[in-house]
């Protein structure tokens, strides 16, 4: 097993990519702290992991709240599993809105969930990871690498996630802490499938994807597994597009 004896915190784990990561990491031997605001869905996922022989706990979690990180997520993980080896900052939102219609409230909410949570999570695990190293994986987007029409605040926040990933990798490398990002392309999840399966949008998007298909939550989970595991022990500061080739066209 590729994550045997590892302990991983995964945010946004109640659906989509986070759910896929929680199942895959547990199957690969990790003890998983799964967090989300969707408590009922989260509890079902934790129960399923345990039914399949894995070990997991679920925590209701506003990722933009520092106190929840420092007073609940980290302490409860330590109490349950004794350490933290991996942090997956996956939680995020996207509200497609033209730049001229961006409100202060939408901008602040998007940054709080997509970017501030990444810094809060990294700060919360840093004292522990400084002692024995670790792997942090931040979920960014191809929007951070290319121009993308529509979601202005989302694009800006994900660009910041990619940048802060590189900065943290430089600052914390001497402690054996690796910090990488995944930049998903067009991925079918419960949040995106209504949009992506619309025939009009599909006809417009497919010509831009060399592999001519959408990605799945599992394809992002597999990339996260590689970056979280010791197989990527000499990889840090990377922004890894998992996009079917979209960013090369």
Summarised one tens digit per residue, pLDDT across range 121-168 is 999 999 999 999 999 999 999 999 997 766 789 999 999 999 999 999
Binning pLDDT at 50, 70 and 90, where does residue 118 land? very high
Lowest mean pLDDT among 43-57, 109-123, 180-194: 180-194
Residue 50: pLDDT over 80? yes
Residue 190: pLDDT over 80? yes
Q: Which of 23, 154, 186, 214 is catalytic?
A: 154
Domain 7-186+216-248, what architecture? 3-Layer(aba) Sandwich (3.40)
245, 214 Cβ separation under 8 angstroms: no
DSSP 158: H
Query: What token pair was written down for 47?
Result: 């129960």
**DSSP letters for 15-56:** SHHHHHHHHHHHHTT-EEEEEES-HHHHHHHHHHHHHTT-EE
93, 113 Cβ separation under 8 angstroms: yes
Active site residue 234: no
Q: What does pTM read for this prediction?
A: 0.97
Summarised one tens digit per residue, pLDDT across range 93-106 is 988 888 888 899 99
């Amino acid at each position: 097993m590729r994550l045997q004896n590892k302990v991983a915190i995964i945010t946004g784990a109640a659906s989509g990519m986070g759910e896929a990561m929680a199942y895959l990491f547990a199957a690969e031997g990790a003890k998983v702290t799964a967090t989300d605001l969707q408590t009922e869905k989260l509890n079902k996922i934790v129960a399923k992991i345990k039914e399949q022989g894995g070990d997991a706990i679920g925590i209701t979690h506003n990722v933009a709240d520092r106190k929840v990180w420092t007073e609940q997520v980290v302490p409860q993980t330590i109490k349950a599993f004794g350490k933290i080896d991996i942090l997956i900052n996956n939680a995020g939102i996207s509200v497609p809105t033209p730049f001229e219609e961006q409100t202060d409230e939408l901008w602040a909410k998007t940054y709080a969930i997509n970017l501030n949570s990444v810094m809060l999570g990294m700060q919360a695990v840093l004292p522990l990871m400084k002692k024995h190293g670790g792997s942090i994986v931040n979920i960014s987007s191809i929007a951070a690498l290319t121009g993308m029409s529509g979601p202005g605040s989302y694009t800006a926040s994900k660009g910041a996630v990619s940048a802060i990933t590189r900065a943290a990798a430089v600052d914390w490398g001497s402690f054996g802490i690796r910090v990488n990002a995944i930049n998903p392309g067009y991925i079918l999840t419960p949040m995106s499938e209504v949009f992506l399966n619309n025939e009009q949008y599909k006809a417009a998007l497919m010509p831009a994807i060399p592999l001519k298909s959408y990605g799945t939550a599992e394809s992002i989970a597999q990339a996260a597994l590689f970056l979280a595991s010791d197989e990527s022990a000499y990889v840090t500061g990377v922004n890894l597009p998992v996009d079917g080739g979209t960013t090369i066209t």
